[in-house]
Amino acid sequence: MIESAAAFYEVEEVEMRQAYASTLLELAKQNPNIIALEADLMSSISTNKIQGQIPGQLINCGIMEANMMGVAAGLALTGKIPFLHTFAQFATRRAFDQLFVSGGYARLNLKILGSDSGVTAEHNGGTHMAFEDMGLVRLIPNAVVYEASDSTMLSYLLRKISSEYGVHYIRTMRKAAVKIYNSGETFEEGKGKILREGGDVTIIASGIMVAEALKAADILRNHGVRATVADMYSIKPIDEELIIKLARKTGAVVTAENHNVIGGLGSAVAEVLSEHCPTPLRRIGVREQFGQVGKTEYLKEVYNLAAKNIAEAVRELKPY
């Protein structure tokens, strides 16, 4: 458990996009082989602000995600380290075969940031709202999938993957996240983090749902239910050992993700549990629905992603 975990759900001063741009700048200055690619969304992710400082290392590919994926593969083929950014659904749904074949199947080194994930796409609505991206990338052999829950984690993961080989996909929101970690925190591939410990139920969450899970744990505590909350930021590989350990300890698991319950965190946890440690499970996430316009808080209500929904799911497993 992290003693330093912030307890009051404050929104960070640094937006996720600022964390991306500043970390990218730092990495690109250190390593001339790092080349950032954008598909006409530089001002959305704030890389326009660093463009002048790393000329030749930040290329706006225009609105051509399929080609951007191939250009990245070509850069990787010649020893460069491409960092691609676009909205999550363009990085995955739109250019999936390119990512799969030119990236994954060709065993090339691509670093991909999918922003505006799930409901955080807000007013761009259903066309831009990816509830499927983690599921898609999870299907690519050896691809690593992360969902960043705050700016400390995002910056850490970007630095980490910059020196690792393979297809790495980081899913994030664009604006300010709820602060979860203090600076100096470290994150490993294939590991989750316990943010709160309790013996009655385990809530496993990622991304914006980590804060909801913590809030749900507060609700539950008022009802005398003690919840363990884990941030499962490494969606693939996933921390099987931790999932099994927590399932055995609490006997009940609820997952919470800003994503379709098919393919993402809920699926990944269900796969581990059903193979190794069958345990009563409820999955909070989007079910058989497309996206729509709205503010994040409103959309959390619409898709049953709020803390109260997590607490209700716990009630089904552990009546209180």
Query: Which is nearer to other proteins, 66 or 270 (by Cβ)?
Result: 66
Count residues binding other proteins (CB under 8 A).
27
Piece of 61-69, 85-93, 150-158, 250-258 that binds other proteins (CB under 8 A):
61-69
Smallest separation, CB 22 to other proteins (Å): 22
Smallest separation, CB 106 to other proteins (Å): 4
Smallest separation, CB 243 to other proteins (Å): 33
Smallest separation, CB 41 to other proteins (Å): 16
Residue 285 interacts with other proteins (CB under 8 A): yes or no: no
Query: Which is nearer to other proteins, 14 or 66 (by Cβ)?
Result: 66
Residues forming beta bridges with residue 228, ordered by sequence position: 202
Q: What tokens were used for 213?
A: 């899970």
Judged by DSSP in three states, 196 sits in strand
Distance of alpha carbon 34 from alpha carbon 80, whole angstroms: 6
Beta strand ranges found along the chain (DSSP E): 34-38, 58-60, 81-87, 110-115, 144-147, 167-171, 193-196, 201-205, 227-231, 234-236, 253-260, 281-286
Binding mask 63-82 for other proteins (x = CB under 8 A): -x-xx-xxxxxxxxxxxx--
Q: What tokens were used for 207?
A: 């991304």
- Please report where in the chains the tokens 């409820």 appear, as a residue: 282
Q: What is the DSSP string of 61-98?
A: --S-HHHHHHHHHHHHHTT-EEEEEEEHHIIIIITHHI
Smallest separation, CB 34 to other proteins (Å): 11
Contact 171, 145 (CB under 8 A): yes
Smallest separation, CB 40 to other proteins (Å): 12
Residue 165 interacts with other proteins (CB under 8 A): yes or no: no
User: What residues from 236 to 255 belong to the interface with other proteins (CB under 8 A)?
Assistant: none
Piece of 99-107, 134-142, 145-153, 156-164 that binds other proteins (CB under 8 A):
99-107
Smallest separation, CB 226 to other proteins (Å): 50
Q: What tokens were used for 49?
A: 């602000």
Which of 2, 6, 14, 59 binds other proteins (CB under 8 A)? It is 59
Contact 9, 211 (CB under 8 A): yes
Smallest separation, CB 70 to other proteins (Å): 2
- Give Cα 171 distance to the centre of its chain: 4
Which of 23, 47, 102, 151 binds other proteins (CB under 8 A)? It is 102
Smallest separation, CB 37 to other proteins (Å): 9
Distance of alpha carbon 70 from alpha carbon 319, whole angstroms: 52
Which of 11, 53, 97, 164 binds other proteins (CB under 8 A)? It is 97
111 backbone dihedrals φ, ψ, rounded to 5° = -115, 120
How far is residue 18 from each of residues 28, 172, 244, measured CA to CA in Å? 15, 12, 36
Residue 98 interacts with other proteins (CB under 8 A): yes or no: yes
Residue 118 interacts with other proteins (CB under 8 A): yes or no: no
Which of 106, 188, 298, 316 binds other proteins (CB under 8 A)? It is 106
Q: What tokens were used for 9?
A: 């759900």
Query: Which is nearer to other proteins, 53 or 274 (by Cβ)?
Result: 53
Q: What tokens were used for 44?
A: 């959305």
Distance of alpha carbon 230 from alpha carbon 170, whole angstroms: 18
Residue 105 interacts with other proteins (CB under 8 A): yes or no: yes
Interface positions with other proteins (CB under 8 A)? 35, 56, 59, 61-62, 64, 66-67, 69-80, 97-98, 101-102, 105-107
